[in-house]
Amino acid sequence: MVRSPDSTLRLPTIENSIWIREAKLPTFDPLELSERTERAVCRGNKRKYSKFDSTINYKTGVATGYVVGCSLRCIFCWASETRDHYMKEADYYSPQEVYDRLDAIAKAKRLHQVRISDGEPTIGKNHLLELLELVERSDYKRFVLETNGILLGTDRDYVRELAAFKKVWVRVSVKAGTPEAFALKTGARAEAFECQFRAIRYLKEARLNFDIAAMSADPRFMDPLERISLIAKLADIDPGLVLNLEEEMAILYKTTVKRLKAPGWDQSRRLLPFLQKLPLLRHFLQYSYLPISSLAQKKFNRGFTLKAIKELSLYNKYGDD
């Protein structure tokens, strides 16, 4: 429920009942934050990591290094608190030390791919490039570089340097479909919205292997009009990007819920279960958030819709933890 600016009535709207309020929070320059973060988490070619582990991501599993620090402050982020608190439970590691840790985990788990994640891996360019050199000489099939694209979208030469490595697979996580939503969700200035799409253009020009993910299957964080805007932005670069877009839903871990409170996430959650039972809303969810590939084939993806409703139920289950 949101208060109407023109009266004292509290007006129900789908978007504002299951999404965040538009709180007037100060925005920041993500490039400036990247520079400050690099000074805090990098020493020469060493960078801070909070831990090393393996996860089930990317079908066959992947050995993962969890970097400290990021250039955005996404409200739906499920990364650890070291995203913001650089000194907490973190040590400096050289590229060789990182590789050795990942290599030991991958061999123990019989994995064929490695990655760095959690924070923003493109912060600390020298560290990343030296690590990629080690992976390039190894037997691993793929190094997954998960990024928000901010630094890549402002430095074409950075992308060209990445293109020298054949095993790199870049995964760009696009945060929003409009500049206004980008600022609201990430805390960064709206002008930085275009950086992510420039990064995609640069990756395509450099013929790097990459894919794109977005929190666009989640009506709590992206309404249908914003989703259409996102799809149009990607289609303007290459229609093929739309068909391969990996659309995600947020899982409300404790760190996520904590971050959502700052911009005014509605903690009541009492309206959502009721709305999910309404036939009109069920159709709204079914057709507004179908995977693009299913829409292109003109098929109704029941499995995806059921998964979406199941994921939405986590909104209530974990919200008060």
Least confident among 96-105, 134-143, 151-160, 266-275? 266-275
Mean pLDDT on 270-298 = 54
pLDDT band (50, 70, 90) for residue 7: very low
Residues 101-132 as b/e (b if ≥16 CB within 10 A, e otherwise) read bbbebbeeeebebbbbbbbbbbbbbebbbbbb
**In CATH, which of 3.20.20.70, 3.30.930.10, 3.40.190.10, 3.30.465.10 is domain 25-265?**
3.20.20.70
pLDDT number for residue 311: 56
pLDDT number for residue 290: 62
Q: Between these two residues, 224 and 194, which has the higher pLDDT value? A: 194
Please compute Rg for the chain using Cα positions: 20
Per-residue pLDDT tens digits for 123-140: 999 999 999 999 999 999
Cβ neighbour number for residue 149 with a 10 Å cutoff: 27
pTM: 0.78
Per-residue pLDDT tens digits for 89-123: 789 999 999 999 999 999 999 999 999 999 999 99
Per-residue pLDDT tens digits for 12-44: 233 333 344 444 567 899 999 999 999 999 999
Mean pLDDT on 252-276 = 67
pLDDT over 60 (residue 318)? no
Least confident among 62-71, 270-279, 286-295? 270-279
pLDDT over 80 (residue 194)? yes
Look at residue 171 and give its three-state secondary structure. Answer: strand
Domain limits, CATH 3.20.20.70, in the chain: 25-265
pLDDT number for residue 106: 96
Least confident among 26-40, 58-72, 80-94, 183-197? 80-94
Mean pLDDT on 129-155 = 97
pLDDT band (50, 70, 90) for residue 86: confident
Look at residue 192 and give its three-state secondary structure. Answer: helix
pLDDT number for residue 80: 87
pLDDT band (50, 70, 90) for residue 225: confident
pLDDT number for residue 266: 60
283: its two tokens: 């159709």
Residues 6+ apart with CB under 8 A from 195: 30, 149, 150, 153, 154
Burial, 261: exposed, middle or buried (Cβ in 10 Å; 0-12, 13-18, 19+)?
exposed
